[in-house]
Amino acid sequence: MKEIKGTKVFDAGEVEEGAKILQKGGLVSFPTETVYGLGANALDQRAVKGIFKAKGRPNDNPLIVHINDKEDIKPLIKGDLPSIGERLIDEFWPGPLTLVLPKGEGIPDVTTGGLDTIALRMPDHSIALDLIAKSGLPIAAPSANLSGRPSPTLCSHVVEDLSGRVDAIIDGGETGFGLESTVLDLSREVPILLRPGGITYEELRAVIGEVEVDPVVIGKQEKDSNKALSPGMKYRHYAPKAQAILVEGEKDKVIDKIIELLGDKEGKFGVMASQQSVKNYPDGVVVKSMGSRYNLSEVGSNIFKILREFDQLDVDKIFIEGISDQGLGLAIMNRLRKATGYKIIEV
Ligand code: TXA
Ligand code: MG
């Protein structure tokens, strides 16, 4: 165990210590297969309030409750799990799929941002599952970043944002997927995708047929995000310190446009490029590879990390190559559009 600004940093062998802190109403950050979460006992109003305070998170933005056993769903929801939910859980849990269901009794309003629904997920990460099991509690956990910053995919990101603000962080190395879970609302007549993530729209369709998509998921303008059904989707998010601009369109045109924009301006610039196009940009520009444009999991796992790396480099502007929004591309483009505050150029 190390200690940084009063926050304990545990390694994977010290999960038990983290569980004890959760039982006492403390805040513990832990790795999941998507991003690091900041956990507290979902049933303890005071503990959950602490999450909002530590992150600087708006109160109307509800939290996802993490469980490690399907049996734990029952007391958290109202009525029975719909059969569609059973099918999704059989197929995708543990994994990056969050299900929104009518909320059961006894769950504090702070946990669900005052909504009458609750978001549930079973993470696919041994430390997360072990921590939840050892605590014996449902664990409310948003991503472990300061509100508005890119989600953390490394322990050092959590330390950077939250040391001195939370009781403990469990270091589990780099998270796998790197983007947050898919959020699917099952409390309505037709299931509706509220946030794209690790489980794709296409995969959901293959299991349950009809799925609606909240317009905010593909939104390309700030105003689209204000109508979000998932409150978290309306806030500015993932933002690097420098102004970022996303260029969307056909691959070669995107590269040409960014080269043109780089020539226009004076200052220190960064480019987030696919591995295939890194070589296209002029010297003097800081070019970072997001990964192969043919390997979207690789791109997904890198984008938050790269946005944070640019913060260390003090660039004035970041130009980002857009990719296709099929499959995992939908989640990637959703995060990139938000990261730029919807500063998008279409070519
Ligand atoms: O992968 C993830 O989901 C990570 C890890 C830590 O599990 N967690 C995460 O939590 O991304 P957070 O708080 O950063 O995002 C939760 C999203 C927000 O957009 C929130 O508005 C939405 O889920 N949400 C939570 N409860 C909801 C509800 N009852 N109805 C609609 N949206 C809800
Ligand atoms: Mg978040």
pLDDT per residue, tens digit, the chain (347 aa), is 999 999 999 999 999 999 999 999 999 999 999 999 999 999 999 999 999 999 999 999 999 999 999 999 999 999 999 999 999 999 999 999 999 999 999 999 999 999 999 999 999 999 999 999 999 999 999 999 999 999 999 999 999 999 999 999 999 999 999 999 999 999 999 999 999 999 999 999 999 999 999 998 988 877 776 667 777 776 667 788 899 999 999 999 999 999 999 997 788 999 999 999 999 999 999 999 999 999 999 999 999 999 999 999 989 999 999 999 999 999 999 999 999 999 999 99
Q: Which atom of ligand 1 is nearest to the CA of 123?
A: 7
Q: How far apart are CA 339 and CA 341, in angstroms?
A: 5
Q: Whose CA is nearest to atom 31 of ligand 1?
A: 230
Return the amino acid letter for 104: G
pLDDT at 236 (0 to 100): 66
Q: How far apart are CA 98 and CA 57, in angstroms?
A: 20
- Site to substitute for ligand 1 among 76, 180, 188, most atoms within 8 A of C-beta: 180
pLDDT at 234 (0 to 100): 67
Domain segments of the chain as ranges: 2-218, 243-346
**Which residue's entry shows tokens 């898919």?**
182
Q: Whose CA is nearest to atom 33 of ligand 1?
A: 230
The residue among 18, 333, 317, 56 whose CA lies nearest residue 196 is: 333
Distance from Cα 203 to the centre of ligand 2, integer Å: 23
Q: Which atom of ligand 1 is nearest to the CA of 145?
A: 14
pLDDT at 230 (0 to 100): 76
Looking at the CA of 183, which ligand is closest? 1
- Positive or negative, the Cα torsion across 83, 84, 87, 88? negative
The residue among 186, 182, 184, 209 whose CA lies nearest residue 196 is: 182
For residue 346, which phi and psi values (nearest 5 degrees)? Answer: -100, 130
The residue among 70, 97, 102 whose CA lies nearest residue 86 is: 70
Q: Is 142 in the pocket of ligand 1 (CB under 6 A)?
A: yes
- Site to substitute for ligand 1 among 52, 57, 64, most atoms within 8 A of C-beta: 64
Q: Whose CA is nearest to atom 15 of ligand 1?
A: 142
Distance from Cα 24 to the centre of ligand 1, integer Å: 24
pLDDT at 266 (0 to 100): 81
CATH number attached to the domain at 243-346: 3.40.50.11030
pTM of the full structure: 0.96
- Site to substitute for ligand 1 among 143, 212, 301, most atoms within 8 A of C-beta: 143
Q: Whose CA is nearest to atom 18 of ligand 1?
A: 232
Q: Is 119 in the pocket of ligand 1 (CB under 6 A)?
A: yes
Distance from Cα 183 to the centre of ligand 1, integer Å: 7
Distance from Cα 52 to the centre of ligand 2, integer Å: 11
Distance from Cα 238 to the centre of ligand 2, integer Å: 8
CATH number attached to the domain at 2-218: 3.90.870.10
Q: Which atom of ligand 1 is nearest to the CA of 195?
A: 19
Q: Is 112 in the pocket of ligand 1 (CB under 6 A)?
A: yes
Strand duo 212-213 + 243-248: pairing: unpaired
Distances (CA, A) of 335 to 54, 81, 226, 240: 23, 30, 16, 12
